[in-house]
Chain A
Amino acid sequence: MKTYLLAGVAAAALTAGTAQGAGHLPFAPGDGDFNWDSFTAFADANDFSGEEITVTGPWTGADAELVNSVMAYFSEATGATVNYSGSDSFEQDIMISAQAGSAPNVAVFPQPGLASDMAGRGFLSPLGDETAAWVRDNYAAGQSWVDLGTYANADGADELFGFFYKVDVKSLVWYIPEAFDEAGYDIPETMEELKALTDQIVEDGGTPWCIGLGSGAATGWPATDWVEDMMLRTQEPAVYDQWVANELPFNDPAVVAAIEEFGYFALNDAYVDGGAQAVANTDFRESPTGLFDIPPKCYMHRQASFIPTFFPEGTEVGEDVDFFYFPAYAEKDLGKPVLGAGTLFAITNDSPAARGLMEFIKTPIAHEVWMAQSGFLTPHTGVNTDMYANDTLKALGDVLLGATTFRFDASDLMPGEIGAGAFWTGMVDYTTGADAAEVAAGIQERWDAIQ
């Protein structure tokens, strides 16, 4: 212990002298219950003084500050300068810069589909078997994260390209505890109860749901999350996997049924704020504000763990608003499936320092620093979960851990034309009156066209 401490002090003294342009460290090394050992060990083993690496990703604004605070520790430890830039149109930017040969060292992909696409074109550098083994051993459900990050390279051989860092949970329903309390509603434990509650609210003269699919060019994506959640609640996980791989055609009755399950909520004028017509074009960012209106425009809003960013200013999650797990059918006995998504790091322009950064995000400290500040969930089993910034995040982490089935957002895994195209527009067509079977057939047709 003593030697550790001494080594740590020595390393800190050394790096303090060499670190250049390191950003602000929100937690002084050595303070608190962070895993500082992992930090000092990493600092001892790596030195990239004077090197510079560029990172681009989808995080901007407050999130960019957070990722920069993590990068500051990397700079502190190795002396390398990290230049992170975030972009709202990351998907387009990374494609252009990769094709033009001006890619950053490391790219943070918001969804595996795009990374897989780029790996196939030879724009990504493989991370190696060692990293794959590490993920398998150190991430909860490690193999599934390895699988999600493994794509065919330019020659068609499978290799690990993506390293997952930061996970979102999607199977959540947001509500206002006081509104539920006053009306005497209980948190539904099963899908049957949720449907009963929905009817109960209508009977009491309220509107149960706020659903908004509007998102500019990406209009329709929130509905894909609904359908995926419904898929997991009506079918075995294996069927879900077949659907993602298109081994089960999109117009299979199972998928159509899942779409119609979504329609059960979204297409009923009495169930959604503004009526079914409002669903397709209400902005998803604006949609949850209906919860906070007095009298409430709706009582429940199904959305991923990132949505509190769009709650009215000053809203305290946990007190003013809370979430419950989007429940599963009791009768179907499919356990507690959880839908999630995540961002992955990949090397787009290889350099020793870029490799070093990939090593760094394996350390618990790289996860704890973000966890302790704001919305960040991780499957890393080596982190101290006491470091989660608040109880809500901890509860979110529990949803993740309590899941009997965890599945990644299907639309993120499907080819871009489907998962970020036909599926979105198909859902918009469905909510504006098209038949579910027809919509599903149309999406399958599009999928056939690209194979």
Chain B
Amino acid sequence: MSPLIQGVLTIIIGVGGCIGYFFASNLILDKVIFPPKGANPGRNINRANMVRPWLFLLPAILALGLYLVYPVIGSFWRSLFNRAGDEFIGLGNYITMFGDDQFRISLFNNFLWVLVVPAAATFFGLLVAQLTDRMKWGNIAKSLIFMPMAISFVGASLIWKFVYANNPDIGMINAVRDFLGMGPVDVLQIPFWNNFFLMVILIWIQTGFAMVILSAALRGIPEETVEAAIIDGANPFQIFFKIKVPQIMGTIVVVWTTITILVLKVFDIVYTMTGGNFGTEILPSYMMSYMFRDDGRATAVAFVIMLIVLPVMIWNIAQARKEMR
């Protein structure tokens, strides 16, 4: 029972500590360091407002710095060394990597994934979110579509084995082919297209994510806007495309970005379904095959992945600037 008590205690300490920190630090700032009274109340308020953002951000910056920035910098340094980690080779890992066929295949496949999966998952998510919005059994439908999100990747790979397996007694696709009198085919071995069969799995999982976020956004659209459009005689399609979609465009972009980033990280599906064989390797699984063996190469792959996401980062900075104005 001790972990249970320990757990309850930490929830109280952790959560209480967090709340206490934010509350106390703001209180001290406002009442003790820069009280809005005395000689220069105006200047004090301004100063307090300059410090306050950092109070709000401090725990997050600490956690991010320690748990992500520090390892990233360490890893970048590591990627400049050879496999044993005792010889500095500059960009040697990057250069040999770009000469590797397997890497180029992974890179190409990864672009396919980045193009297809976020688009498809967001599309289906939006479709379901909109269709179930005012439906009586909408919540049930949503829960069912959401279910794959709750299944671990290992479970998901198993599920799709029951669909893709070469053996018509196990795989549904081949059972159908068998029924139609066609010979069995291993869909995971069809060159090029097998990538898409693997993508289907991630789309199937991520649609639930897109749906939850987008349906929350759809419900956030003020009733009046929609009602006004109905009175103006707009048909349901016009309402959806001209009124609703522009209103939630920001959220759509967030969902798209999040799934894109996820695509760049998920190795489990390829790893468990094909092990990267049959020309289905993607960068994260390529990285895994070097992880703990040639850490120089593995970390170099990680930085190529981070490079791919650069456009998304730049776009987000621009977006943030626009909001500031």
**Residues in chain A within 8 A of chain B (CB atoms):** 91-92, 95-96, 117, 215-220, 274, 277-278, 280-282, 286, 416-417, 421, 424-425, 428-429, 432, 449-450
Partner of B278, one of A217, A424, A428: A428
A-B CB contact pairs (8 Å), 30 listed: A91-B292, A215-B275, A216-B273, A217-B275, A217-B276, A217-B289, A218-B275, A274-B166, A274-B167, A277-B166, A277-B189, A278-B186, A280-B186, A280-B278, A281-B166, A281-B186, A281-B189, A416-B293, A417-B290, A417-B294, A421-B293, A425-B275, A425-B277, A428-B275, A428-B277, A429-B277, A432-B189, A432-B278, A450-B83, A450-B294
| Distance to closest chain B CB from A95 (angstroms) | 4
B35 near A: Cβ within 8 Å? Answer: no
Q: Do A417 and B275 have beta carbons less than 8 Å apart?
A: no
**Given known A-B contacts A274-B166, A280-B189, A432-B189, A219 and B277 have beta carbons under 8 A apart:** yes
Q: Do B166 and A278 have beta carbons less than 8 Å apart?
A: yes
**Residues in chain B within 8 A of chain A (CB atoms):** 83, 96, 166-167, 184-186, 188-189, 271-278, 288-294
Q: Do A425 and B189 have beta carbons less than 8 Å apart?
A: no
| Distance to closest chain A CB from B217 (angstroms) | 38
Q: Do B278 and A421 have beta carbons less than 8 Å apart?
A: no
How far is B274's CA from A117's CA once the two chains are assembled, in angstroms?
Answer: 27
Query: Which chain B positions have C-beta within 8 A of A117?
Result: 293
**Given known A-B contacts A281-B188, A417-B293, A216 and B167 have beta carbons under 8 A apart:** no
10 shortest interchain CB distances as A-B pairs: A219-B275, A428-B277, A95-B292, A217-B275, A416-B293, A217-B271, A216-B272, A281-B186, A278-B166, A219-B277
How far is B289's CA from A286's CA once the two chains are assembled, in angstroms?
Answer: 25
How far is B292's CA from A95's CA once the two chains are assembled, in angstroms?
Answer: 7
How far is B96's CA from A429's CA once the two chains are assembled, in angstroms?
Answer: 22
How far is B292's CA from A286's CA once the two chains are assembled, in angstroms?
Answer: 30
| Distance to closest chain A CB from B91 (angstroms) | 16
Interface centre among A96, A216, A278, A281 (most CB of B within 10 A): A281
Give me 9 other A-B pairs in contact (C-beta within 8 A), A92-B291, A450-B83 excluded.
Answer: A96-B292, A216-B272, A217-B275, A218-B275, A277-B166, A277-B186, A280-B186, A280-B278, A421-B289
Question: Which residue of chain B lies nearest to A290 when distances are taken between CB atoms in the complex?
Answer: B167
Query: Which chain A positions have C-beta within 8 A of B290?
Result: 417
How far is B100's CA from A425's CA once the two chains are assembled, in angstroms?
Answer: 15
| Distance to closest chain A CB from B191 (angstroms) | 9
| Distance to closest chain A CB from B47 (angstroms) | 44
Query: Which chain B positions have C-beta within 8 A of A421?
Result: 289, 293
| Distance to closest chain B CB from A277 (angstroms) | 6
Question: Which residue of chain A lies nearest to B288 when distances are taken between CB atoms in the complex?
Answer: A217
How far is B291's CA from A164's CA once the two chains are assembled, in angstroms?
Answer: 27
| Distance to closest chain B CB from A344 (angstroms) | 19
Q: Do B186 and A220 have beta carbons less than 8 Å apart?
A: no
Q: Do B275 and A216 have beta carbons less than 8 Å apart?
A: yes
How far is B288's CA from A421's CA once the two chains are assembled, in angstroms?
Answer: 11
Q: Do B277 and A220 have beta carbons less than 8 Å apart?
A: yes
Query: Which chain A positions have C-beta within 8 A of B288?
Result: 217
How far is B289's CA from A220's CA once the two chains are assembled, in angstroms?
Answer: 14
Interface centre among B83, B186, B277, B290 (most CB of A within 10 A): B277
Query: Which chain B positions have C-beta within 8 A of A219?
Result: 274-275, 277
Query: Which chain B positions have C-beta within 8 A of A217?
Result: 271-272, 275-276, 288-289
| Distance to closest chain B CB from A232 (angstroms) | 26
Q: Do B186 and A449 have beta carbons less than 8 Å apart?
A: no
Q: Do A282 and B166 have beta carbons less than 8 Å apart?
A: yes
Interface centre among B83, B271, B275, B276 (most CB of A within 10 A): B275
How far is B190's CA from A55's CA once the two chains are assembled, in angstroms?
Answer: 44
| Distance to closest chain B CB from A115 (angstroms) | 14
How far is B290's CA from A421's CA once the two chains are assembled, in angstroms?
Answer: 9
| Distance to closest chain B CB from A379 (angstroms) | 30
How far is B188's CA from A274's CA once the two chains are assembled, in angstroms?
Answer: 15
| Distance to closest chain A CB from B215 (angstroms) | 35
Question: Which residue of chain A lies nearest to B164 when distances are taken between CB atoms in the complex?
Answer: A281
Query: Which chain B positions have C-beta within 8 A of A449?
Result: 96
How far is B275's CA from A218's CA once the two chains are assembled, in angstroms?
Answer: 7
| Distance to closest chain A CB from B41 (angstroms) | 53
How far is B92's CA from A449's CA once the two chains are assembled, in angstroms?
Answer: 12
Question: Which residue of chain B lies nearest to A428 when distances are taken between CB atoms in the complex?
Answer: B277
How far is B290's CA from A424's CA once the two chains are assembled, in angstroms?
Answer: 14
**Given known A-B contacts A281-B166, A281-B186, A432-B189, A216 and B278 have beta carbons under 8 A apart:** no
Query: Which chain A positions have C-beta within 8 A of B278?
Result: 280-281, 428, 432
How far is B83's CA from A421's CA once the two chains are assembled, in angstroms?
Answer: 15
Query: Which chain A positions have C-beta within 8 A of B188?
Result: 281
Query: Which chain B positions have C-beta within 8 A of A278?
Result: 166-167, 184, 186
Query: Which chain B positions have C-beta within 8 A of A424?
Result: 275
| Distance to closest chain B CB from A118 (angstroms) | 11
Query: Which chain B positions have C-beta within 8 A of A417?
Result: 290, 293-294
| Distance to closest chain B CB from A92 (angstroms) | 6
| Distance to closest chain A CB from B88 (angstroms) | 18
How far is B271's CA from A280's CA once the two chains are assembled, in angstroms?
Answer: 15
Query: Which chain A positions have C-beta within 8 A of B184?
Result: 274, 278
How far is B166's CA from A120's CA once the two chains are assembled, in angstroms?
Answer: 43
**Given known A-B contacts A274-B166, A432-B189, A449-B96, A280 and B294 have beta carbons under 8 A apart:** no
